[in-house]
Chains A and B, each alone.
Chain A
Amino acid sequence: MNDPLLEIRNLQIDGESDEIWHEIIKGIDLNLDRGEVLGLIGESGAGKSTLGLAAMNFVRPGCRIRGGSIRFDGQELTEQSELTLRKLRGVRIAYVAQSAAASFNPAHQLIDQFSEIPVVHGVKSRREAEKDAKDLYSRVLLPDPDGIGYRYPHQVSGGQLQRAMTAMALSCRPDLIIFDEPTTALDVTTQIEVLTTIRDIVREFNTAAIYISHDLAVVAQMADRIMVLRYGELVEEATTREMMSSPKMEYTKSLWAVRSFKKEAETVASAMSPVVKVNSVTAGYGSEDILKEVSFEIHRGQTVAIVGESGSGKSTAARVITGLLPPRVGDIQLNGKILPKSFKARNKEQLRHVQMIYQMADTALNPRQRIRNIIGRPLTFYLGLTGKQKEARIRELLSLIELEPDLYIDRFPDELSGGQKQRVSIARALAAEPEFIICDEVTSALDQLVAEGILRLLDRLQREFNLAYMFITHDLATVKAIADNVVVMLQGKIVEQGSKTEIFSPPHHDYTELLLSSVPEMDPDWLNELIAHREKHGVMSSTSIS
């Protein structure tokens, strides 16, 4: 019984791209005891999902295990037949995927997908399995546990599906469950609920688990021990508390330090008229209103963060300001003058002053244009620059965003990293010499270190050019770092707005409180304390407010 449950030695996995094989996992060792929860953490491309799946001796198409050993409960998995492995999967090792909505088969009821595991593996009869399903559904706190199983995946919300998938993983009471970013696709308030469920259920059944995430604060709540991965290699391994209090490696320290960036001082709204004023705007698609009587203003040199979860209408607000979605009621003012509702009716000068930076830098830059043309186009279009003047300005802008002009000016977006692409997006917006820039989740697709670099750059540019930013985000850490003013949105309405200090210090509006308290903190006891606190003061959920 003292043997570890899972023992991986010198595992090497190759992946293929464009007919060339290269290493994704470069000789990793991993130990996991019974009942232990191991956190795997790393940024995108670190190989954490690949490693997690390898614990079941499963590789995705286009990958292959090149060497090493995977021992599960004394069995060498790499030497087992497909049949033996199949009998192990679902029964002794289960998997919980990132996107529950895509991982449930749309054609079958949830309970069918639950019961087929014990029934096909001959563990339980169909009837026992269904009874067990209902029992587990109630344990993972799904509403209507007796009835919800007879629904189809599209009839159930994302957070509920993730719980149902956790219940499904438990159907055969496995020794090990692999959680692959189970809460990444969820809103923070839903994330808390699912995290609590997962943690409780894993403890209750004394199941060992591998918990994969890119979010350190989340892993800190779940894991007993943490492994930090980078480029398919192990950087550091320690118990959670040790790792949190005294990380040893440079890289790990830098991960911990990521949220250290903070804007110097809050810019107070000047007495002058605001750059942009949103004046009791109601807008939506079809007959539905997505934004309801929303008003706020943004002054020069100031950053206003629009915070909310998916469906809150924060992106719609951006579409209204840019003129992509003409409002039904209300108007948008630029420097005191009312802008035409549709961008089609706006003149060049009006268009020039409202620039936008997008979340996905990959799709924000035309892949068939060189950086020179991407940045150069607004220069010609708005400012009429050509020839040498234009070239000089492009180079100036590249230096401004900290990219070496000679090296980058002739590249295509494909030849840049994610962070560099986002910088080019910024340069394109700057090229128009605007007064106002909308930043739509500009850092949420980036790894934390890279994101921080972008925030610093934006902050510097703001001070240099006295820019006004509207910063759309769901991430409160980003808000804390960069905002002067905060607008909190819920279901198309503004719940609360004010200066950052006002919003972040009590007393809060209920929803702001919920939102703020749901952001995981870098403290292994945070979740425990939060739950205890919430139980004492009555449970809140995002659905109960509003």
Chain B
Amino acid sequence: MNRILLMILQRFGLGLLTLFVVSIIIFVGVEFLPGDIAEALLGQGASPENVAALRHELGLDRPAHIRYIDWWAGVLQGDLGTSLANRRDIAELITFRLSNTLFLALTAAAISVPLAILFGILAALYRNSAYDRSVNVITLGAVSAPEFLTAYVLILYFSVKLGWFPSLSNIDQDTSFIDKLHQVALPAITLMGVILAYMMRMVRASIINLLASAYIEMAHLKGMPKFRVIVKHALPNAWAPIANIIAISLAYLVVGVVVVEVVFIYPGLGQLMVDSVSNRDIPVVQACSMIFAGTYILLNLTADIVSICTNPRLLHPK
């Protein structure tokens, strides 16, 4: 048991280290900016005095490593700095948007993960059947379509033609849960379309791989019912690959959310990030990047831990 704990702690440490390295990349990247933020903000006509004043105000006249340490100190206290575009506090700006993004992503994940596992396993069990073949073609189609295509097709039919759902998501602090669900329907379906297909394909492949094992054949030769073979013999060995697939898909979701939020003008983190990139609002881009990267690292870490905890060789050492 200690060995497992040690491995988990090790992975955890590795995750933190990665996050740390990522933060350096994000921070150092900005140093390569041609000119600096102050010049970029004030434009070319600005007087050197004005630039210097702004640089002082932003703390740019201090050495990079001091600023980096200050930044971390701020992050740990919940202070992400201020936006250059509108001088608002970034933490405040992000909190509401982050909760919206999480709401959208979790809605999509809550529906698509169980469906994908179910349909993926079915496709693996009825391999090469008409069902399996049509699943193959449909999922390939879904994976091939850019998110904005799905989004606009949905808008065209369900919003413009049928008027069932709004084409733009109008969410503020007071929106009720039910109303939120209604607002989030089209963006969530768009996201689901892609990750459902993606996950189903991977679940199918890993289950087929598993079913080819000698111990599965042995279970059949022992006269075990098909259902029991799946539940008792295949599934306990499937958690690690499935956890991995879920992590990869959710990570994919984190990215897909950016485009979808822009299409539906959904007030989430992705949209904020895209706006900030256009405005070159660097502190906000840094904060958003850190949040996205952190989520990503956390998801992969979780998948690693699930694989460790379900590996009989590790659970029951010699």
Interface of A toward B, CB cutoff 8 Å: 53, 56, 58, 60-61, 85-91, 94-95, 97, 99, 102-108, 116-117, 120-121, 151-152, 154-155
Contact of A58 among B213, B221, B224, B312 (CB under 8 A): B221
Q: Say whether B218 faces chain A, with CB atoms less than 8 Å apart.
A: yes
Q: Is the CB of B219 within 8 A of A89?
A: no
Give Cα A104 to B214, complex, Å: 8
User: Which residue of chain B is the closest to A88 with respect to CB atoms?
Assistant: B223
Give Cα A89 to B222, complex, Å: 5
Q: Is the CB of A91 within 8 A of B223?
A: yes
B-side contacts of A91, CB under 8 Å: 223
Contact of A90 among B223, B232, B233, B316 (CB under 8 A): B223
A-side contacts of B223, CB under 8 Å: 85-91, 117, 120-121
Chain B: minimal CB distance from A374 (Å): 32
Contact of B215 among A89, A104, A155 (CB under 8 A): A104
Give Cα A152 to B314, complex, Å: 11
Q: Is the CB of A56 within 8 A of B232?
A: no
Interface of B toward A, CB cutoff 8 Å: 212-215, 217-225, 228, 232-233, 236-237, 312-313, 316, 318
Interface centre among A89, A97, A107, A152 (most CB of B within 10 A): A107
**A-B contacts, 16 listed (Cβ < 8 Å):** A53-B221, A61-B212, A86-B224, A89-B221, A90-B222, A90-B223, A97-B217, A102-B213, A105-B233, A105-B236, A107-B233, A116-B232, A117-B223, A121-B223, A152-B313, A154-B318
B-side contacts of A155, CB under 8 Å: 316, 318
Q: Is the CB of B221 within 8 A of A90?
A: yes
Give Cα A151 to B318, complex, Å: 9
Contact of A99 among B214, B220, B225 (CB under 8 A): B214
Chain B: minimal CB distance from A54 (Å): 12
Q: Is the CB of B313 within 8 A of A97?
A: no
A-side contacts of B217, CB under 8 Å: 60, 97, 103
Q: Is the CB of A103 within 8 A of B218?
A: yes
Give Cα A180 to B30, complex, Å: 66
Chain A: minimal CB distance from B224 (Å): 6
User: Which residue of chain A is the closest to B215 with respect to CB atoms?
Assistant: A105
User: Which residue of chain A is the closest to B315 with respect to CB atoms?
Assistant: A152
Q: Which 8 A-B residue pairings sit nearest by Cβ, starting from the closest?
A: A89-B223, A90-B223, A102-B214, A107-B236, A90-B222, A105-B215, A95-B221, A103-B218
A-side contacts of B213, CB under 8 Å: 102
Q: Is the CB of A90 within 8 A of B224?
A: yes
Q: Is the CB of B221 within 8 A of A154?
A: no
Contact of A105 among B221, B237, B318 (CB under 8 A): B237
Q: Is the CB of B214 within 8 A of A152?
A: no
Q: Is the CB of B215 within 8 A of A106?
A: yes
Contact of A108 among B228, B236, B318 (CB under 8 A): B236
Interface centre among A91, A106, A121, A154 (most CB of B within 10 A): A106
Q: Is the CB of A154 within 8 A of B222?
A: no
Contact of B222 among A60, A117, A152 (CB under 8 A): A117
Give Cα A95 to B217, complex, Å: 10
In addition to A58-B221, A86-B223, A97-B214, 8 A-B residue pairs with Cβ atoms within 8 Å of each other are A53-B221, A61-B212, A91-B223, A94-B221, A97-B218, A105-B237, A116-B224, A152-B312
Contact of B312 among A90, A99, A107, A117 (CB under 8 A): A107
User: Given A102-B214, A103-B214, A107-B236, does the pair A116, B222 have CB atoms closer than 8 Å?
Assistant: yes
Give Cα A444 to B223, complex, Å: 35
User: Which residue of chain B is the closest to A165 with respect to CB atoms?
Assistant: B218
Give Cα A67 to B233, complex, Å: 32
Q: Is the CB of A105 within 8 A of B316?
A: no
Give Cα A53 to B228, complex, Å: 21
A-side contacts of B237, CB under 8 Å: 105-107
Give Cα A333 to B224, complex, Å: 60
User: Which residue of chain A is the closest to B212 with respect to CB atoms?
Assistant: A61
Give Cα A441 to B115, complex, Å: 51
User: Which residue of chain B is the closest to A82 with respect to CB atoms?
Assistant: B226
Give Cα A152 to B224, complex, Å: 20
Give Cα A106 to B213, complex, Å: 11
Chain A: minimal CB distance from B228 (Å): 7
Give Cα A102 to B316, complex, Å: 17
